[in-house]
A and B are shown apart, each in its own frame.
Chain A
């Protein structure tokens, strides 16, 4: 049971309020129609599975419904912090968002 910081609610909340949504920074290709099957297949199905820090997309499903990213260690399950979409992983934090 993780404790996850929602950078929109500005609080640490229990995991059951959140849904995990896969790897972060997985952008949809800008021009899907001109992707090869292989490129599209990579986008659809191929995922890194790093041992160590991993940036993940989560949504505060039972709270404010906002999506954000979480940097989590896949080995220890410790969470370094959360950051909003558009921010970079080095901004991961567990407090400090102003209301």
Chain B
């Protein structure tokens, strides 16, 4: 299973298991334990896990042109500036901090992408595979913003939080990186160990609006 390392100064691993291994996402058990309240027709809140995504933390100096160029050439995505994101069909790159980004990609591609990044980057940078360490909760529907208002101190109005913006803030008593994917479609990246708490918090806060576990109907057709 050991792959040839392109950079011997760091230890990198292809973390994909053999085919017969069962993967369980952070919310594998939590979702099964939650009772759906409303059918998709009546619901104003839709909640589901965007499970088992590949996730790489990329660290580097944004003001270093080589770094920005290296990342965008390896990913074919612009390195997003403060509180923003860039996305393609299979990937999204989220600004986390002045020297930190989160790449969301297909889990199967994570190692190949990490390798591409390391090949493209020089100098002081880091890439860390955190695919198992956090998960994406998706929150959609006409009352999704109200649920977020109950959950986080950051303003979710269109003016403060336009589509594409990324904000890392408090989510109740844990932390989340929140990305607005569309006007009523939000993505919350939470740490794995807190995911069950976040899930329970969100389902509880959603209940009064009519909660459906799963994606809105138009996405399913």
Contacts and interface: CB of A to CB of B under 8 A. Distances in A.
A64 B153 contact: no
A17 B100 contact: no
B98 A8 contact: yes
Interface in B162-200: 167-170, 175
Nearest to B62: A99
Contacts of A10: 82-83
Contact of B154 (A14, A64, A65, A99): A14
B98 A62 contact: no
Interface string A30-74: 000000000000000000000000000000001111100000000
B100 A63 contact: no
A87 interface: no
Given A99-B81, A99-B82, A13 B154 contact: yes
Residue in B84, B96, B168 whose Cβ sees the most chain A Cβ within 10 Å: B168
Q: Is the interface of A mostly helix, strand, loop or mixed?
A: loop
A13 B169 contact: yes
A16 B175 CA distance: 11
B168 to A, nearest CB: 5
A64 B170 contact: no
Interface residues of B, number: 15
Contact of B100 (A14, A16, A62, A64): A64
Contacts of A66: 97-98
B165 to A, nearest CB: 11
Interface of B: 81-84, 96-98, 100, 153-154, 167-170, 175
Interface of A: 8-11, 13-14, 16-17, 62-66, 99
15 contacts: A8-B82, A9-B82, A13-B153, A13-B154, A17-B153, A62-B168, A63-B97, A63-B168, A63-B169, A64-B97, A64-B168, A66-B97, A66-B98, A99-B81, A99-B82
- The 3 A-B pairs at the shortest CB distance, nearest first, are namely A64-B97, A99-B82, A14-B153
